[in-house]
Chain A
Amino acid sequence: MSKKWLWFSIIFAGLSACAHQTSEPLYIGESNSLPDIAVEFETTVIEPTQQERHYRWYFWRTVNRVETQNLRDNSGEVWTKSVTGDVEYARVFHNEKQMIDYRSSDLNAIGTEPNWAGITLLLNPAIAKTLMSDGQTEIFGRTGIEYKNNNVENPVDIIWLADEKVPAMIQRVEHGHTLVTRIVTLYSLEKSALLHQSTANYRHIDFADIGDKE
């Protein structure tokens, strides 16, 4: 709930900035026309007193399904959207061949309101609304458009690939540390060379049943 108020503040900051710039806001478009993609990302965590930490992870996306896999601990997440618009979630533990399933009402019960656009685009829509274009760059032979907000405390910079509808780079500063996520490789889903581990035979545990297994 408190995040909502934070988002209002961010939106307000973004709207104020808008009056002084001529650049264009980020246009995401409809979430039902997303290209199917497979991406390898690297996230770098930069903290003043520590060494940089790097994490590689995979991201597979279709219109109604997003799957991620963290290569460091071989765990992941699966988000699915049903025909009725309900969003379900699963935590995947590849080493144990187990999944914990969160149904839509389970997510609500723990105070989570998943935003499908945010999940599929890796970009919080409230933050996306604050971003204004700030030039172009070439990346993977494509034209990426740079966007940034004008929030001094929590600056966000991204490079957006409009055709693929995915950020090639996201840089955020939060709580004194910087998070930079960049695409390492990008494929259309059908031509993906990323190793995808099937979860077909994994054991499923309902989130509602976890309480009896603590």
Chain B
Amino acid sequence: MCANECKLTAMAVILASSLLTISAVSNAETISENPKFWLDSGKQSLADSEKLKPNENNAKNVILFVGDGMGISTITAARIFEGQSKPNNRGGEENSLSFEKFPYVALSKTYSVNQQTPDSAPTMTAIITGVKTNDGELSVGMAVARQEKNGNVVNANKVKSLLEQAEENGLSTGIVTTARLTHATPAACYAHTSERDWEADADMPTDATVSDIAKQLINFNYGNGLEVAMGGGRSKFLPETINDPEELDKKGSRKDGLNLTQQWLDKYPNAAYVFDKMGFAAIDAKKTDHLLGLFDISHMEYENDREKDTAGEPSLTEMTAKAIDILSKNKKGYVLMVEAGRIDHAHHAGNAYRALSETVELSNAVRKALEKTNPKDTLIVVTADHSHTFTIAGYPQRGNPILGLVKQPGETDFAKDKHGMPYTTLGYANGPGYRGTPNRVDLTLIDTAHPDFLQEAAVPLASETHAAEDVAIFATGSKAHLFHGIQEESYIYQVMAKALKFKVGQ
């Protein structure tokens, strides 16, 4: 009986995937993608391009979006992933994420001073300070050795971040991330250290005189301090004697006894600290000048899992909107960095579904920022710090489910490898999804579009790695036209500083 049920279920899966494919193809046909369609749409794109005029205005505001690990293959797959979820799509491939409609695009060379394939510390240092450095180091020059314990050496080699410059020029500043606020990408905005992992005092050697990253966030003394800091990483701010407010059986990780959330409240006027969605929703941007949001003990939940969070977490889009509401009170302007930090984590886990849904949420956050700003006085940049070994492979037919098995045009069965096994469109060059011993697993009956499906990997590694190819830079608004060609990653800072009329590096 079970065997029959299994067969029936398998048939249902095959039938359902066939119907999906047929549906996508027939939708594509109703639009008539004939030669005239392509020539007309191309003509329209050309006309739009001819109308483009450089926006030479200086920027009052700069919003920098960083998709951590959002390589170009991730953007393409996320575009299709989102497109296939839309009604009346033509297969999904024709879709555009919000930032893909930006008028200016460039490529960014992501290598660090000492690594061909970088980690997030030197890459974000390059983006936000204009200076490339060594792997694992945050906003210090390359002369600093990794894990240099001497605070004087680190301080002597600090390189100034765009947020620090903004504060010195009277602008407001904000940092929003779905990773820990003390994680490499957000930390490069406000901290200077020889080791990205020194997030709290408990993470550091006892004889180090460098300040830990969480403490550097609270002690950020440029201008009138950070106005907005939202993300995860609560344990790095709470002492080990205090229970976490959400996960009551866990405690803070600080050994120095400091409650940095209280220090934030003590330091700033009209300050607020929130740790859950209800507290976040209650924040009145008009009455709050300095907002610290720590919504998880570690990284915030993936967008896919956010609804299941115990205390509730705001989305990246909601945090972005709230940040802009607070920062835009400053008539001189603001600099806001928004990171979709968990694209990277999902890729490391070899889980394409979550990487793509995180990317779509980043696109949503960018769309919200576009709604709330004016391109005449705001530069919006969307980029990635580095790529991943994520690939879109095979010859799937138009409209083939992006998370599905490859089925080629005109075929009724899935494409097969040399051993007669089907394979997915999406995969990784390395990572935990390796299933090669002794042969690949037969995926015919597997729901490869399930959020928990682990894409296959060619080389077995406990965690999938970053990749070294260039990443994209998308820009719109003031001075956005300066993004063109293939640039060093550090060039991003140059354009942002230029737009804000800051002297570079000062």
Contact = CB atoms under 8 A, between A and B. Distances in A.
B2 A12 contact: yes
Interface in A81-119: 82, 84, 86, 101, 103-106, 108-113
A11 interface: yes
A110 B351 contact: yes
By CB atoms of chain A within 10 A, which of B3, B301, B310, B348 has the most? B348
Interface in A1-35: 1-2, 5, 8-9, 11-12, 15
How many of chain A's residues touch chain B, expressed as a range?
20 to 34
Contacts of B292: none
A106 B349 contact: yes
B299 interface: yes
A113 B463 CA distance: 18
Contact of B299 (A82, A108, A208): A208
Interface residues of B, number: 49
B124 interface: no
A105 B263 CA distance: 31
Contact of B305 (A5, A11, A105): A105
B301 A1 contact: no
Interface in B341-369: 342, 344-351, 354
B452 A113 contact: yes
Interface string B321-352: 00000000000000000000010111111110
Contacts of B120: 212
Contact of A8 (B2, B301, B451, B462): B2
B453 A111 contact: yes
A12 B348 CA distance: 37
Given A2-B441, A108-B305, A210 B452 contact: no
B122 to A, nearest CB: 12
Given A5-B445, A103-B298, A111 B2 contact: no
Contact of A5 (B6, B196, B342): B6
A11 B6 CA distance: 12
Main secondary structure of the interface of B (DSSP, over half): loop
Interface string B165-195: 0000000000000000000100000000000
B443 to A, nearest CB: 9
B465 interface: yes
A206 B299 contact: yes
A118 B453 CA distance: 21
B208 interface: no
Interface in B408-446: 432, 441-442, 445-446
A22 to B, nearest CB: 21
Contacts of B470: none
B447 interface: yes
A208 B348 CA distance: 7
A203 interface: yes
Interface in B196-247: 196, 202-203, 247
B302 interface: yes
Given A203-B203, A206-B298, A82 B463 contact: no
Given A1-B453, A108-B452, A206-B299, A214 B445 contact: no
A15 B2 contact: yes
B82 interface: no
B464 interface: yes
B276 interface: no
A111 B452 CA distance: 5
Interface string B295-328: 0001101101100101000000000000000000
B1 interface: yes
A211 interface: yes
Interface of A: 1-2, 5, 8-9, 11-12, 15, 82, 84, 86, 101, 103-106, 108-113, 203-204, 206-208, 210-212, 214
Given A111-B452, A214-B463, 8 more contacts: A11-B2, A82-B310, A101-B298, A108-B451, A109-B452, A110-B454, A111-B351, A210-B462
22 contacts: A1-B446, A1-B450, A12-B2, A82-B249, A104-B305, A104-B308, A105-B302, A105-B304, A109-B302, A109-B349, A109-B351, A110-B350, A110-B454, A111-B453, A111-B454, A206-B299, A208-B348, A210-B348, A211-B347, A211-B348, A211-B466, A214-B462
